[in-house]
Amino acid sequence: AKQRAGSPRRWPMADITLGELAVRYGLTLRGDPARRVDHVATLSGAGPGSVAFLANPKLADSLAGCRAGVVILTPALEADCPVECLVGRNPHAAFARIAAELYPAMPVAPGVHPSAVIEEGAVVDATAHIGAQCFIGAGARIGARVYLGPGCIVAAGAELAEDVRLVARVTVLERVQIGARSILHPGAVIGAEGFGYALEGERWIAVPQVGTVRIGADVEIGANTTVDRGAIEDTVIAEGVKIDNLVQIGHNCTIGAHTAIAGCAGLAGSSHLGARCRVGGGVGIAGHLRICDDVTLTGFTLVVGDIREPGIYSGGIPAEPAADWRRIVGRLKRIDGLARRVGELERQTAEGGGETT
């Protein structure tokens, strides 16, 4: 029977020799080129058919007793490896590519489930898969080999380019554009109304959000992440961006190419995040800020001003025992008073011609 695509990845499809992997990914092989591997594993759980990797030299001791079919590692760790190894400069990236080959995306089985609803005027490519209880609105365009898992909604005028995958229960609202090969995981909502209100007296008046969302090619968006539509101009996510689960992207935000955002981060409206940035979990970015390219924000950092220079930025105080925390906070609160006293002493010194008492 023909197997239908469900998740973007399935169980291993085939095995492959170490010699083929070395040639295909530009790695140096130490070992038997005819040995075959068919799955990935951790160093501690690997067996003869497994591919594992080690990139951190601080964990070199974990190689002792390893039984993997092959370990991908750097030249500096080769001598410590008791089994076959594939040697390269970036073991993690090589492992990712090999894992993608062993666990390939299943081909899309064309067809429309009987329970799906497709409104008049929608254009659905004949090679697309439309799953159970999906809805496609009028004027929507579904490209070649697109996969819509169960319960997905593609609203009126939305456009999905070729090879887009909506895994399950994904909502893509009016006029949203999603680029080729992008993957949206269960529960993602793209193009909901942004949080925009005008205050009149004691009442809030909703501001119509008339923009939309434009997502580039090769973007991945995690489960239950939300990307709000623009208020006037569009919210824009450039190519290659990777966004984790439970992330909030506010209206009119822009995110530069190949930026990665970890879970539970939040970008307030009109934040502009540059290319190749790395945003840790729980980071908060205030609205109407600009963060330049090549910035790393470590976990739980709060950004309340523009960042104009590339680099690593951190904020927040790590957890401390409660008594220590109270003491630290108390000292922080006294800093302002101390600063005023120092300022007053400096003023008195200046007025006294440099003499101190």
Helix (H, G, I), strand (E, B) or coil at 156: coil
DSSP code string of 236-252:
EE-TT-EE-TT-EE-TT
Q: Which of 185, 251, 258, 272 is catalytic?
A: 251
Q: Are strands 266-267 and 278-279 parallel, antiparallel or unpaired?
A: unpaired
Classify burial at 139, counting beta carbons within 10 Å of its beta carbon; exposed 0-12, middle 13-18, buried 19 or more.
Answer: middle
According to DSSP, the β-strands at 197-200 and 203-206 are antiparallel
Smallest CA-to-CA distance from 210 within 157, 160, 256 is with 157
Task: Tell me whether residue 272 is one of the annotated catalytic residues.
Answer: no
Q: Does residue 344 come out as left (phi exceeding 0), alpha (psi in the -120 to 50 range) or beta?
A: alpha
Residue 277 identity (one-letter amino acid):
C
H runs (alpha helix) in 188-321: none
Closest CA to 85 of 45, 121, 43: 43
Q: Active-site positions? A: 251
